[in-house]
Amino acid sequence: MNKDFTFTIKSICLDEDYHPSDNTRITTNFANLARGSHRQANLRNALKMIDNSFNALANWDNPKGDRYSVELEIISVDMDIEGSGQTFPSIEVLKTNIVDHKTNKRIEGIVGNNFSSYVRDYDFSVLLQEHNKDQPQFSIPDNFGELHGKLFQYFVNSAVYKQNFSKPPVICLSVSDNKTYHQTENQHPVLGVEYQPNESSLTEQYFKKMGLQVRYFMPANSVAPLAFYFFGDLLNDYTSLELISTISTMGTFQKIYRPEIYNANAAAGKAYQPNLKNLDHSLTQIVYDREERSKLANEQGKFAEEKFIKPYQTVLEQWSASYA
């Protein structure tokens, strides 16, 4: 591996005064909330929802439901391929930190949670679409997601990751609306009831190339399962408070972004198929531009193609072929 192939980590606090940086994918959940005339109220309300959700789940020794608050950091990872100082914004995730107001301690949470990647935008919005253009049947290109998966694993195994984070990442996504999820007998005290899908999805296969397994759980106070992508042992590698920080953060974002599923007025049953056309749901008091989000994914994929894939194609192909 080229010794000049390096990562730089930057961190910024996600609070009600947050403004997205120029390199942030503007379709990212928190960046979308931080735009427009409602930006400060959006952020304040979302952060309050996260704290309320956290305290509802961490209810032991917490009689007033106000013992904890969650602080969020946006972790941006820039990649320098040639050691020239020219960097490309490769990955952006969220890190949770928990403030215990009873003990006045700050507890490290989980890194990951939300996951943003320009290269993933390229794979899904450019490469996959071009591969299937004018084709009678949908198919997946050869080696789809392999470069992205190897880059992600290289970062997680890097010295800079281990210097900054004590545990591997956990990424929490919404469930797919074209699969059916069946409730199992397995129940975790924090993650809740486990569900299993009837089939694998393209997202699962894509994240598998990143080295991640997936399990589906519906926590208490939730109405639909969440998808947890992880390395190792999700149920035993993380503390209850760490897991709750991810559930409360990503459950809140899903209520805002996918209210038809995660703010539905009826909870998932034993066999559950998410429905994005479900009218029986409630809206949060938070403004979120979903139409803009889907439109901009194509632009961001083309940005990755122009600034990363094409200029470094030969180097990336050689590296990918040699990376085990």
pLDDT, one tens digit for every residue, the chain (324 residues): 445 588 999 999 988 887 766 555 554 556 666 666 677 888 888 999 999 999 999 999 999 999 999 999 999 999 998 877 888 988 999 999 999 999 999 999 999 999 989 899 999 999 998 898 888 889 998 889 999 999 999 999 999 999 999 999 999 999 999 999 999 999 999 999 999 999 998 999 999 999 999 999 999 999 999 999 999 999 999 999 999 999 999 999 999 889 999 999 999 999 999 999 999 999 887 766 666 556 677 888 898 999 999 999 999 988 888 886
- pLDDT at site 295: 66
Token pair for 15: 């609070």
- Angle made by CA atoms 19, 153, 324, in degrees to the nearest 5: 155
pTM assigned to the model: 0.92
Token pair for 216: 């589906």
Going from N- to C-terminal start, the domains of the chain cover 6-315
- pLDDT at site 293: 57
Residue (of 229, 226, 215) closest to 268 by Cα position: 226
Q: List, in sequence order, the alpha helices (H) in the chain.
A: 29-33, 39-57, 118-122, 128-132, 146-156, 159-164, 202-208, 234-237, 240-257, 259-262, 290-304, 313-322
The Cα 189–Cα 194 span in angstroms is: 11
- pLDDT at site 59: 96
Give the 3-state secondary structure of residue 234: helix
- pLDDT at site 40: 82
The Cα 140–Cα 132 span in angstroms is: 8
